[in-house]
Amino acid sequence: MNVSVRAGNRRLAANEGWALLNLKQVLCLLGIITASALFYLYTEVRGLDLSYQASQAASVQRELVELRRRLRVELNNLRSPERLEREGARLGLAPPPPERVRILK
């Protein structure tokens, strides 16, 4: 009887080894699937974040282009000869007499 008990134990131990190996394989597979899912989620969230940043940068660029346009118009208005003559007259300045004008070559 001792021999039959030993043989039964051997088969039981052999089956446990396969079950343990299958459990390890299943856990490894679940780990790989979980890591893949986390990587996918990370890339999706990162993509959304970059898309949001690009949208914000485009909005800021549009605002800066409009500001540049307005500043150029203002600069042209400030440099206009008519405006300079008006401001000079307001401050009491007059054009110089012709003999005081020297033309540089």
Alpha-carbon torsion (86, 87, 89, 94), positive or negative: negative
Per-residue pLDDT tens digits for 29-87:
999 999 999 999 999 999 999 999 999 999 999 999 999 999 999 999 999 999 999 99
> CA geometry: angle at 23 spanning 35 and 40, to 5°?
10
Which positions ≥6 away from 83 have C-beta within 8 Å? 77
| Token pair listed for 94 | 């007059």
For the cut 90, the answer to whether the pLDDT of residue 15 exceeds it is no
Contact 73, 79 (CB under 8 A): no
Specify the pLDDT at position 31.
97
Per-residue confidence at 22, pLDDT binned at 50, 70, 90?
confident
| pTM tops 0.85, yes or no | no
**Would the pLDDT of 17 be above 70?**
no
Show the CA angle centred on residue 58, arms to residues 52 and 64, nearest 5°: 140
